[in-house]
Copies of this chain bind each other. A is one copy, B any other.
Amino acid sequence: MKELMIPIKTESKIPLYEQIYQYIREEIKGSRLQCDTRLPSTRALASFLQVSRSTVELAYAQLTAEGYIHSLPCKGYYVSDISLLYQLQTHTFPVEEKTVTKTEQFDIDFSLKGIDMDAFPYNSWRKVTREILSGDNEELFIGGATKGDLDFRETVSVYLRESRGVNCSPHQIIIGAGNEYLLMLLYQIFGLIFQSQKVNIVMENPTYIQAYKVFCGLGGNIIAVPVDGNGMSYEILELHKEAQAAYIMPSHQFPTGNVMPMKRRLELLKWANEKENRYIIEDDYDSEFRYKGKPIPALQGMNAADKVVYIGTFSKSVAPAIRVSYLVLPPKLMEIYEKKMSYYANTVPRLHQKVLESFIRQEYYARHLNRMRSLYKNKHDMMINLLKEQQMTYYGENVGLHLLVEVKNKKSEQQIIHEARNGGVKIYGLSQFAIAPLNTPSTVILGFGSMKEQEIEKGMNILKSVWK
């Protein structure tokens, strides 16, 4: 038996038992202590190293638990065969050159995706996370309910009721990692209820293109219908007898920015009610940010909980990396989900659900929303003033994080975008959200969520020369 000359540092921050554990482990990994070598008894090693016996026992227990040594009754501790153990070489991680995706760089980007992250309440978020981690929350690492944790769904249902007039119990809610994922689930529920892989879904043209791609990707038959300033109409729906569901954004149509008036909403509900299995999908993606006038409650809350599937997200209102969305299902659809699809484990980590729940319950969320609304309103008003100054025709105001500008200089949308980009300003064309040919004048979309005020001013000045 070899002497273990373990160089112990009593003044080190590393506990004594850990030093002994690490030393012996490295000796074993380096084959200096070989398989079946007998180790000194805990008593002998403790006395030799002048440490307490329990310190050595702790080190041996650790080595045993990790498979480096084992004990034989009445014989002592022996080095194990470690060829099966995980020895991840933590030093070999490649310091590979980051391959930045080559995208054009613009000084100014009227992006439609960004939100204002300067105002993200990092400190509150950290505080809540720390509180939860230090609490007795070990169950958060065990698998949770497939629909999401009940406490969190309760919090979401109350929030939706109070802020959007959505009429739902927590049992109607499915939490998921983003809208696209929840739309994939929804499409499969439709597939089951309509007993077909090909579901006929009416969508406005132009529309939220991600949703369109998800439905297409799963085999959906998309019926693109034109919109007037109020969105999809009953008359147009009536032309498409095969339609099984209609996807709309009544609070703020993307990208046109239209708000659907009450009369139109009632007509669409009438359409849905005319047939047993007909549904409306209401995507309420950014109605948290309304700057003028009372918010119109969600369509779902208009006595339509049986007919309207409601979907929304925290990615816009909290932060893009908060991949938490919610799907509110009519009871009949939820029944199908529970019977046939509950094998899909929930996609949002429970810790993440808990943090967001606490963030909402402790009022941080309401305060954050109010602060953001105020910030966005300043940018929104600034945009409107600059557009008015330039006598531009704009629409989609009063809600959300983008505006549309109709450019009447006889240039094509393509040309306008191209000229703006040459000036270092990235803007977006309406036609990029078209799912069928569009018949509109040249229109560009300007997102202002992630822009700083100076950037808005600078960007608008550059655009002035482009669209004159």
Q: Measuring CB to CB, which residues of chain A are less than 8 angstroms from any residue of chain B?
A: 64-68, 83-90, 92-94, 96, 98-99, 113, 117, 120, 122, 125-126, 129-130, 133-134, 138, 140-144, 150, 154-155, 158-159, 162-163, 170-171, 177-178, 180-181, 184, 188, 191, 197-198, 209-210, 213, 217-219, 288, 290-291, 294-295, 315, 319-323, 341, 343-352, 360-363, 365-367, 369-371, 373-375
Contacts and interface: CB of A to CB of B under 8 A. Distances in A.
B122 A365 contact: no
Chain B CB count within 10 A is highest, among A122, A315, A370, for A370
A290 B120 contact: no
Closest 9 CB pairs of A and B: A143-B320, A177-B347, A197-B219, A66-B370, A141-B319, A86-B366, A88-B366, A177-B177, A67-B374
24 contacts: A65-B374, A66-B374, A67-B373, A83-B294, A84-B290, A86-B366, A87-B162, A87-B366, A88-B162, A92-B158, A94-B154, A96-B170, A99-B150, A99-B171, A117-B138, A130-B130, A143-B315, A177-B177, A177-B181, A180-B344, A188-B217, A209-B343, A321-B351, A352-B352
Given A86-B369, A93-B361, 16 more contacts: A66-B367, A66-B374, A84-B290, A84-B291, A86-B365, A88-B365, A89-B162, A93-B155, A93-B158, A99-B150, A122-B141, A126-B133, A130-B130, A141-B320, A209-B343, A321-B349
A375 to B, nearest CB: 8
A448 B64 CA distance: 21
B93 A117 contact: no
Contact of A178 (B320, B341, B347): B347
A67 to B, nearest CB: 5
A217 B99 CA distance: 36
Nearest to A352: B349
B370 A93 contact: no
Contacts of A341: 217
B219 A158 contact: no
B126 A134 contact: yes
Contact of A86 (B84, B134, B141, B370): B370
Contacts of A344: 178, 180
Contacts of A92: 158, 162
Chain B CB count within 10 A is highest, among A290, A348, A360, for A348
A348 B177 CA distance: 7
Contacts of A99: 150, 171
B140 A347 contact: no
Contact of A349 (B89, B219, B323): B323
